[in-house]
Structure 1
Amino acid sequence: MTKTLGKFAGRMLLVGCGNMAGAMLDRWLAAGLDPAQVAIVDPFAAPREGIAHFASLADWSAADGTAEWVMLGMKPQQLGEVAGDLAPVVQGDTHLLSILAGVSLADLAARFPAAKAQVRILPNLAARIGAGVSAVASLGEVDEAAVTALLKPLGTVVALADDSTMDLVTAFTGSGPAFVFRLIESYAAAGERLGLSADDSLRLATATFGGATALLESSGEKPGALAAQVASKGGTTQAGLDVLDEGGQLVALMTNVLRAARDRGRELADIARGDG
């Protein structure tokens, strides 16, 4: 194992390995995680070289499966059907990791009370290239060094005091890349409507958003200050900003977007608890 994951040891079981869990796993493998340390339980996940793959928890258990680290990566709605078979596996030496939207630490503790620690992680898809954001909150006797070693290769790590704001963080950073992709797509579509070719418009939009984000991150300045540096009174940029800023419509739109995503996370939590 490389120094990148040098403080992470033990065996890991991934219960569900869809887009997000798969992106995390691929990044960990690229950072030096030994495939022999990992097993996947997911009948639909693509096979990965060197990693044991099982269609069900029963199959994994029959193969004498053991793991000190278990990560829940399936759909939140599946928690109820998975918990009964998984709870006997999650014992006093097990760290339970969860990326399930809407499923709180309290929910995890109720389902898996014997776990050494419950760790709720909210990553996003940019983890695939090590540029993601992972918010994390935990309960129990957490091996902080190992959790940090596991999450740092994914990108920025933000430790939360508790998970009370995690539904909003789920919407804000977890769903956020999809919202940014849609904004870029819409920006490119507008350029195409006004006369650019589809290919040129998408390339220009992607580079513009990427460059602006990189400048914002490196400059240490506020977005509004940088916007003011681009705009001049009576100029083309200011004309466009006047449309964006009219009536606070852009902030209102983004607030509604985040509210809808946050509220859906809460609905998923109710379903996972059996309340919905």
Structure 2
Amino acid sequence: MPTINEDQGIMTKRLKDFQGRMLLVGCGNMAGAMLDRWLASGLGADRVAIVDPLAAPREGVVQFASLAEWCAAGGGADWIMLGMKPQQLGEVAGDLADVVTGDTHLLSILAGVSLADLAARFPAAKAQVRILPNLAARIGAGVSAVASSGEADMAAVTALLDPLGTIVALADDSTMDLVTAFTGSGPAFVFRLIESYAAAGERLGLSAEDALKLATATFGGATALLADSGEKPGTLIAQVASKGGTTQAGLDVLDSDGQLAALLTNVLRAARDRGRELAEIARGEG
């Protein structure tokens, strides 16, 4: 059953259907957000281990400075998630060579590293599962795109990702570099838009505090309304804007010469292309 998270006032889905033992190789901002959500959703801390000397400690979760240290401690895991930098894949793959077996689900949130790359590095794995989450997973409001190869237990994968928010299953990972830019990097782009919107309000006379509060509430309310209504954005725009009114005056600037659409296309293209460059580096080609 879902429970209320009192600190955040949102529903938390329980991890009742996931029974694996997990190792996180790398536990930075994104992997850490996922882990914190899993722990809050009922994943036993004694069923998780972290290999990351810099990760923030979690109560009850055993943490190691290196894979060698984890192995020396007799570590075992049937689910291993790669959450380090993509450039470290070659080094990590060597260290994990004897650990990944035919019973291992290998999960990866590494930007640019394809299922084919994972299969080449970890051919013994039962399955390779590529996940593209975003930071809103921290509060269960994220989106996770997922694609897999091998004999993946997708019921268990779904149970694992469900507490993080919306799951989008992809037929393959051919569009994952774009999804990485679109939803993985997307929160940062939205935060920048809110920051810039607030800065514009401040330049025109609002206090910095009021501008940020109003901008945050405006963006939050608009996206919540869009999600709840089931309407297209254009339909809701028409409900706000009237001919010759204030809203239309602002929209005329936003829509001028298609500059906004062109700007956002360039933003996504740059992020997508960087993902491809990281993939080349991870394969030792860059």
Q: TM-score surpassing 0.5? A: yes
User: What TM-score, normalized by structure 1, do the two folds share?
Assistant: 0.99
Matched, 1:244 2:254: yes
Indicate the larger mover: 86-95 or 161-170: 86-95
Identity of aligned residues (%): 86
Q: How many residues align?
A: 276
Matched, 1:171 2:181: yes
The corresponding residue for 2:123 is 113
The corresponding residue for 1:274 is 284
Offset, 1:141? 0.7
Offset, 1:5? 1.3
Matched, 1:264 2:237: no
Matched, 1:84 2:98: no
SS across alignment from 1:167 = helix
The corresponding residue for 2:155 is 145
Distance, in Å, in 2 between the alignment partners of 1:87 and 1:212 is 48
Structure 1: 5+ residue stretches without partners: none
> Following superposition of structure 1 onto structure 2, how do residues 66-85 of structure 1 map, counting pairs within 5 Å?
66-85=76-95
Distance, in Å, in 2 between the alignment partners of 1:101 and 1:88 is 24
The corresponding residue for 2:72 is 62
The corresponding residue for 2:208 is 198
Q: Which residue identity lines up with residue 191 of structure 1 in the other structure?
A: G
Offset, 1:9? 0.8
Q: Which residue identity lines up with residue 96 of structure 1 in the other structure?
A: L
Distance, in Å, in 2 between the alignment partners of 1:87 and 1:154 is 29
The corresponding residue for 2:9 is none
The corresponding residue for 1:211 is 221
Distance, in Å, in 2 between the alignment partners of 1:211 and 1:48 is 33
Distance, in Å, in 1 between the alignment partners of 2:89 and 2:27 is 14
The corresponding residue for 1:220 is 230
Distance, in Å, in 2 between the alignment partners of 1:166 and 1:11 is 27
> Following superposition of structure 1 onto structure 2, how do residues 36-47 of structure 1 map, counting pairs within 5 Å?
36-47=46-57
Offset, 1:144? 1.1
Distance, in Å, in 2 between the alignment partners of 1:216 and 1:35 is 37
Q: Which residue identity lines up with residue 238 of structure 2 in the other structure?
A: A
Matched, 1:132 2:135: no
Distance, in Å, in 2 between the alignment partners of 1:70 and 1:156 is 22
Q: What's the CA shift string for 1:67-87, capped at 9, x where partnerless? A: 000000000011011110112
> Following superposition of structure 1 onto structure 2, how do residues 157-168 of structure 1 map, counting pairs within 5 Å?
157-168=167-178
Offset, 1:228? 1.1
Structure 2: 5+ residue stretches without partners: 3-12
SS across alignment from 2:255 = helix
Q: Which residue identity lines up with residue 39 of structure 1 in the other structure?
A: A
Distance, in Å, in 2 between the alignment partners of 1:271 and 1:238 is 47
Q: Which residue identity lines up with residue 140 of structure 1 in the other structure?
A: G
Distance, in Å, in 2 between the alignment partners of 1:150 and 1:4 is 9
Distance, in Å, in 2 between the alignment partners of 1:31 and 1:171 is 27
Distance, in Å, in 1 between the alignment partners of 2:117 and 2:21 is 24
Distance, in Å, in 2 between the alignment partners of 1:224 and 1:254 is 18
SS across alignment from 2:173 = coil
Counterpart of 1:32 (choices 26, 42, 54) is: 42
Q: What's the CA shift string for 1:199-232, capped at 9, x where partnerless? A: 0000000000000001101111111111111011
Distance, in Å, in 2 between the alignment partners of 1:119 and 1:214 is 30
Q: Which residue identity lines up with residue 166 of structure 2 in the other structure?
A: T
